[in-house]
């Protein structure tokens, strides 16, 4: 297993001979090792450095190792702790496991036992970190992005070429055109593929939350910060950070993002220690960032750092050659997911799919086919199952008392407010909801 990135080990033992032997053995394996002999030194170090694993002797002179363990669980909950114990004190080691330690080693232990324990715990730590990332973006694996449309083929060719470089990429395109899918594909085509691709949805976070989400925070740095957290930047170390809807990235935080992109350095909230992370940035937006720069809503220097390469995804209505392929792929997937009888489209249904304007792009096509696959009771999907004749979102008049469901009223109202508001924030204010809720509803209703 690779040692350097996920092999930061802390040794805590008051016997200097043990510290020395352990240190040599683990450093020989390529891990980065720090060794201290008291609880105070350990606490001091934990405030300043991130460790993945700690070997902790519970007998630390005057200090009680169990107290230190409890402190570690709060300060660095992600860190795995292996207790080092004498034969006569195995009972205490069992108490320690109940208090959150991962395992214990009985002294004297051989170098092989130590190496094995370290490798096992670090592997578990890596798995936990990976799981955290995946949980944040539970999605089906990205579908085949292949296209028969010349504009899209050109974008894909450039994307594959630049994927292997470390250049930051800005992906432009209307909502639902597949910017997120393309970002994940670029990560998959890059040399960073074995590391994480971490996504942040910018509009869903306030400036304060965004800072702590991106860079992490130290315990006590603000009300409610009861634990130290690692930020997304740390999770993406060696991999890719995808900033979705970058146009909504808080202006006040843009200087810190710029510095991170330029110098690869950052500080956690409430913690002065400067840390480094090697992260490739992909960003996406459906807003006009040049216009935002002119209006003073986006920093020009940040834009120049983000758009080293710009990829512009064509809207679905300009991908006539792909509409039917995508529709057939979605149909095959959804009838399988829902165990439904539909297998193909009638001639009229195919025509209707080609003639429709697709304002919500691939996301809308996906939703239309998902619905059709559920409502169609036979093998052939007809035009009526597609529901394309429905009024486009926002055009319906949501009159109080009209015979509309609450959901349709909400959708129409949100669409109308969005259409008349210059920014998402202002629309959220008008609606009296926060930007993250509006962001979710916009996706839910395909607006
Ligand atoms: N080539 C493709 N094949 C299959 N599904 C796709 C493809 N491209 C996009 N999709 C699907 O379309 C939907 C929208 O894609 P995605 O979220 O990547 O678009 P987006 O441009 O990032 O949208 P937004 O701007 O609203 O964030 C998702 O459900 C995605 O899985």
CATH of the domain at 86: 3.40.50.2300
Test site for ligand 1: of 146, 159, 181, most ligand atoms within 8 A of the Cβ? 181
Which of 312, 340, 369 terminates a domain? The answer is: 312
- Judge whether 261 lies within some domain: yes
Cα–Cα distance for residue pair 289/246, rounded to 1 Å: 9
Q: How many domains does the chain divide into?
A: 4
**Percent of the chain at pLDDT above 90?**
51
- Tens digit of pLDDT for each residue in 325-366? 999 999 999 998 888 899 999 999 999 999 999 988 999 999
On the question of pLDDT at 436 being above 70, the answer is: yes
CB 313 within 8 A of CB 179: yes
Q: For ligand 1, atom 28, which residue shows the shortest CA distance?
A: 363
Give me the CATH number covering residue 366.
Answer: 1.10.8.60
Q: What are the strands, taking DSSP E only, across 73-128?
A: 80-85, 103-106
Cis status of the peptide bond prior to 139, with omega within 30 of 0: no
231 and 121 part of one domain: no
307 and 159 part of one domain: yes
359 and 398 part of one domain: no
> Residue range 66-85: average pLDDT?
87
Rounded-to-5 percentages of helix, strand, coil across the chain: 50, 15, 35
- Helix ranges (H only) for 387-434 are 406-420, 424-431
On the question of pLDDT at 165 being above 80, the answer is: yes
423 and 289 part of one domain: no
246: its two tokens: 């970058």
Cα–Cα distance for residue pair 171/285, rounded to 1 Å: 7
307 and 323 part of one domain: no
- Judge whether 2 lies within some domain: no
pLDDT of residue 89: 75
> Residue range 392-400: average pLDDT?
47
- Judge whether 325 lies within some domain: yes
- Judge whether 378 lies within some domain: yes
Q: Is 190 in the pocket of ligand 1 (CB under 6 A)?
A: no
Q: Is 363 in the pocket of ligand 1 (CB under 6 A)?
A: yes
Which of 77, 105, 136 terminates a domain? The answer is: 136
In degrees to the nearest 10, what's the CA dihedral of 380, 384, 388, 390? -160
> Residue range 154-171: average pLDDT?
94
33 and 83 part of one domain: yes
- Judge whether 164 lies within some domain: yes
- Judge whether 281 lies within some domain: yes
382 and 395 part of one domain: no
280 and 170 part of one domain: yes
pLDDT of residue 393: 42
Q: For ligand 1, atom 7, which residue shows the shortest CA distance?
A: 178
- Judge whether 144 lies within some domain: no
The band of 139, judged by pLDDT with boundaries at 50, 70 and 90, is very low
pLDDT of residue 294: 95
Q: What is the mean pLDDT of the chain?
A: 86
Give me the sign of the Cα torsion angle 49, 224, 221, 211: positive
Neighbours of 146 (CB within 10 A): 10
- Tens digit of pLDDT for each residue in 241-268? 999 999 999 999 999 999 999 999 999 9
pLDDT of residue 226: 59
214 and 349 part of one domain: no
pLDDT of residue 227: 67
CB 4 within 8 A of CB 32: yes
Q: Is 423 in the pocket of ligand 1 (CB under 6 A)?
A: no
pLDDT of residue 394: 41
The band of 181, judged by pLDDT with boundaries at 50, 70 and 90, is very high
Q: Which domain holds residue 305?
A: 150-312
- Judge whether 145 lies within some domain: no
pLDDT of residue 223: 62
Q: Is 360 in the pocket of ligand 1 (CB under 6 A)?
A: no
Opening angle at CA 176, ends 362 and 341, nearest 5 = 35
More confident residue, 146 or 323: 323
Q: Is 364 in the pocket of ligand 1 (CB under 6 A)?
A: no
199 and 346 part of one domain: no
* Bridge partners of residue 244, in order along the sequence: 201
Give me the CATH number covering residue 283.
Answer: 3.40.50.300
* Spatial CA neighbour of 33 closest among 47, 57, 14, 49: 49
Q: Is 143 in the pocket of ligand 1 (CB under 6 A)?
A: yes
On the question of pLDDT at 397 being above 70, the answer is: no
Alpha carbon of 355 to ligand 1 centroid (Å)? 20
Alpha carbon of 393 to ligand 1 centroid (Å)? 19
Alpha carbon of 434 to ligand 1 centroid (Å)? 24
Q: What are phi and psi of 201, to 5 degrees?
A: -90, 105
On the question of pLDDT at 403 being above 70, the answer is: no
160 and 258 part of one domain: yes
Ligand 1 atom at minimum distance from 181 CA: 18
Cα–Cα distance for residue pair 164/50, rounded to 1 Å: 29
377 and 238 part of one domain: no
Which of 136, 162, 177 terminates a domain? The answer is: 136
């Amino acid at each position: 297993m690779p040692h350097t990135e996920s092999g930061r080990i802390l040794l805590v033992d008051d016997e200097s001979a043990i510290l020395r032997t352990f240190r040599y053995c683990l450093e020989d394996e390529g891990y980065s090792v720090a060794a201290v002999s008291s609880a105070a030194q350990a606490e001091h170090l934990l405030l300043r450095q991130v460790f993945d694993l700690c070997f902790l002797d519970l007998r630390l002179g005057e200090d009680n190792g169990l107290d230190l363990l409890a402190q570690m669980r709060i300060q660095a909950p992600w860190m795995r702790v292996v207790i080092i114990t004498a034969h006569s004190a195995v009972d205490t080691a069992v108490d320690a496991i109940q208090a959150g330690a991962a395992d214990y080693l009985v002294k004297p232990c051989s170098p092989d036992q130590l190496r094995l324990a370290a490798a096992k715990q670090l592997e578990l730590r890596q798995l936990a970190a990976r799981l955290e990332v995946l949980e944040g973006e539970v999605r089906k694996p990205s579908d085949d992005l292949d296209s028969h449309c010349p504009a899209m083929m050109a974008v894909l060719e450039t994307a594959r070429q630049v994927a292997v470089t470390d250049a930051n990429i800005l992906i432009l395109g209307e909502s639902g055109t597949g910017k997120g899918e393309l970002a994940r594909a670029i990560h998959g085509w890059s040399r960073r593929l074995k590391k994480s691709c971490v996504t942040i949805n910018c509009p869903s976070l306030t400036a304060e939350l965004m800072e702590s989400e991106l860079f992490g925070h130290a315990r006590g740095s603000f009300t409610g910060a009861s634990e130290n957290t690692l930020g997304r930047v740390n999770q993406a170390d060696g991999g890719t950070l995808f900033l979705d809807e970058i146009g909504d990235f808080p202006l006040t935080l843009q200087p810190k993002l710029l510095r991170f992109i330029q110098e690869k350095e950052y500080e956690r909230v409430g913690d002065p220690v400067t840390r480094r992370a090697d992260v490739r940035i992909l960003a996406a937006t459906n807003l006009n960032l040049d216009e935002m720069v002119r209006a003073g809503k986006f920093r020009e220097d940040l834009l120049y750092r983000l758009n080293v390469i710009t990829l512009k995804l064509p809207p679905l209505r300009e991908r006539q050659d792909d509409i039917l392929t995508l529709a057939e792929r979605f149909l095959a997937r959804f009838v399988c997911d829902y165990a439904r009888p539909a297998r193909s489209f009638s001639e009229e249904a195919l025509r209707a799919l080609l003639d429709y304007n697709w304002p919500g792009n691939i996301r809308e096509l996906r939703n239309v086919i998902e619905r059709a696959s559920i409502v169609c009771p036979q093998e052939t999907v007809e035009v009526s199952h597609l529901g394309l004749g429905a009024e486009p979102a926002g055009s319906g008049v949501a009159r109080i008392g009209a015979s509309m469901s609450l959901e349709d009223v909400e959708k129409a109202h949100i669409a109308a407010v969005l259409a008349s508001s210059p920014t998402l924030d202002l629309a959220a204010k008008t609606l009296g909801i926060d930007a993250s809720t509006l962001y979710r509803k916009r996706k839910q209703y395909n607006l």
